[in-house]
Amino acid sequence: MRLLFAAAVLCISATAVQAVEVNTITIGGGNVVEFDVLAVAAPPALPGLCAVTGVVDKVWEGSAYRTGQPLLLSVPCASYGLVPANVRMDGIVPVNVRSLQQSHHGMARLTNEGVLLWRDGGRSYGNWGQVAGYRVLDPRMLPAMPS
């Protein structure tokens, strides 16, 4: 059932996702959700916006989302870049498209309308730390860190 939902959403939104603007609000807030990734559709040309469909697994902050709710996110992606999405002083670092397509779990800071917020809210969310925009949460895909 989840896969059918994901396929339908991807078909409907494959071209529409390119028109979505990335929100760079300078303050925290919004909603922070952890979710299972169902499917990822890359744009025809990179860099661009990947359409990520998922289902909310946990709501960390905010009241606009609930567990089990479907998500459709427009995530900046490229053939280069870091595994996790990140924000720097000069803008957004896109998620590596291959890592995004292979991921099974993610976390995002969102507006009530589902637009990514690319500034952290100044608090940590369990072991995941702060969240700005989109994060890949699959430990098997993150670079090894020295102890």
Check whether 72 has a pLDDT greater than 70. yes
Amino acid 141: pLDDT? 59
Provide the 8-state DSSP code for 118: -
pTM: 0.74
Q: DSSP string of 44-103?
A: SSSSEEEEEEEEEEEEEE-SS--TT-EEEEEEEEESSS-SS-EEETTEEEPEEHHHHHH-
Amino acid 41: pLDDT? 97
Amino acid 75: pLDDT? 94
Domain ranges (residues) in the chain: 2-139
Amino acid 59: pLDDT? 97
Q: Do residues 130 and 107 make contact, with C-beta atoms less than 8 angstroms apart? A: no
- 3-state DSSP call for residue 104? coil
**Structure-block tokens of residue 132:** 């700005």
Amino acid 95: pLDDT? 87
